[in-house]
């Protein structure tokens, strides 16, 4: 079994008693210890902060709000070009993302106030 991103079979030994004492090697015979762990490298490259996740979520929410606004304008100017079901679904998605964002903000503020009052 090969992993497409890594192109080799890699096994991480957690405890020698479970897998034996012989050295693990890939199909070509090179010891796996000499092969860099590509999974760890890719994780470090894709590691993002909590702030990045929040900014991305708010940008997505904002894009949904803008899309709904555009659809509403299109319904007013050219009602034949837009299905009302699409507008209703887009409005529901935007409302749900706004409610979720409000819940997250409220929880963050509540957590921050608990942290500051504990000190």
Q: Could you state, in order of their start, the residue ranges of all structural domains in the chain?
A: 1-47, 48-118
| 9 close to 27: Cβ distance less than 8 angstroms | yes
| pTM attached to this predicted model | 0.53
CA 109, 115, 119 angle in degrees (round to 5)? 145
Element (H, E) at 57: helix 50-77
CA–CA separation, 82 and 74 (whole Å): 7
Q: Exposure of 71 by Cβ count < 10 A (0-12 exposed, 13-18 middle, 19+ buried)?
A: buried
- Asked whether residue 2 carries a pLDDT value surpassing 80, the answer given is no
Read off the pLDDT of residues 59-118 as tens digits, 9 standing for 90 and up. 999 999 999 999 999 999 988 888 889 899 999 999 999 999 999 999 999 999 999 987
């Amino acid at each position: 079994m090969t992993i497409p991103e890594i192109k080799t079979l890699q096994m991480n030994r957690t405890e020698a008693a479970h897998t034996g004492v012989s050295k693990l090697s890939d199909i070509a015979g090179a010891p796996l210890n000499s092969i860099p762990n590509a999974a760890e490298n890719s994780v470090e490259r894709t590691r993002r902060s909590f702030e990045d996740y929040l900014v991305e979520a708010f940008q997505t929410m904002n894009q949904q709000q803008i899309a709904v606004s555009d659809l509403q304008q299109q319904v007013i100017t050219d009602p034949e070009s837009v299905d009302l079901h699409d507008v209703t679904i887009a409005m529901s998605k935007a409302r749900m993302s706004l409610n979720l964002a409000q819940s997250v903000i409220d929880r963050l503020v509540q957590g921050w106030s608990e942290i500051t009052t504990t000190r």
